[in-house]
Amino acid sequence: MKFKDKIVIITGGNSGIGKAAALLFAQEGAKVMVADLADSLDTELDYAVSQSEGEVSFVKVNVTKLTDIENMIEQTISLWGKFDILVNSAGVLGPRIRTEKYPEEDFDKIIDVNVKGLWHCMKVALRYLVEQRSGNIVNIASVAGHLGMVGHIAYAASKHAVVGMTKTAAIEFAKHGIRINAVCPGFTQTPMLEGADTDAAYLEALQYATPMKRFGKPEEIASAILYLAADEASFITGQSVIADGGLILQ
């Protein structure tokens, strides 16, 4: 049990990559706090965790609200006495619209969730982790944090920001025994991708653009998250692990 006695908080943990990570952590013995905008824990995840060696609890969180984030941390510590790992997986993609026509309202929402929300989660978590002099944060960025992404100027900007924030915070908090890394998925079969575009030809083109000629699976991205969170990665910080089926190589 690689994560036995570890306490993990996962924002956006009710679906997609966050859900897959929650299950993998639980299967490795962790106690997992799923924080999500939904009203309750995903029933499929709840059942799957019940068959594992881990535990799961749920807290409703809107990452654009600082009070929700503070409550998330406080509830976790109240329940389990501490927390060791934060996975920032909450995020939004937004509509696919060219730069000159992109709605400001959508741009602002993406920045509020993907950038400010993630920053606030790190900020509140780090106050506690500094006191512990240990801890681990894994931010979910994107291959779009290293490339351009046609029709998604706000999303690409937000994920470049996540990569930059990860590097900056990693430098600042290394002396406190805290590691901060990012995972940068390519196109992954998640509700976010499926709900963002119903154009079958476009989705097929995304698969074709990936050298492996398929979408990633949430559990494949989750495996990268667990690697960075594990003790075996104890000398790794400030890195962006790209899991994209070779997309960035072209």
Would you name the residues annotated as active-site residues? Answer: 155
Query: Shortest CA distance to 181 belongs to which of 189, 171, 190?
Result: 171
State both tokens at 25.
């952590």
**Chain centre to alpha carbon of residue 88:** 4
Element (H, E) at 153: helix 153-173
User: What tokens appear for 93 in the block?
Assistant: 């993609």
Q: Which two tokens stand for residue 33?
A: 């706090």
Structure tokens at 231: 């003790």
| Rounded CA Rg of the chain | 17
Taking each helix axis from N to C terminus, what angle separates 153-173 and 118-132, rounded to the nearest 10 degrees? Answer: 10
Residue 192, class by beta-carbon neighbours within 10 Å (0-12 exposed, 13-18 middle, 19+ buried)? Answer: middle
Token duo for residue 246: 């070779």
Per-state percent for the chain, helix, strand, coil, to nearest 5: 50, 15, 30
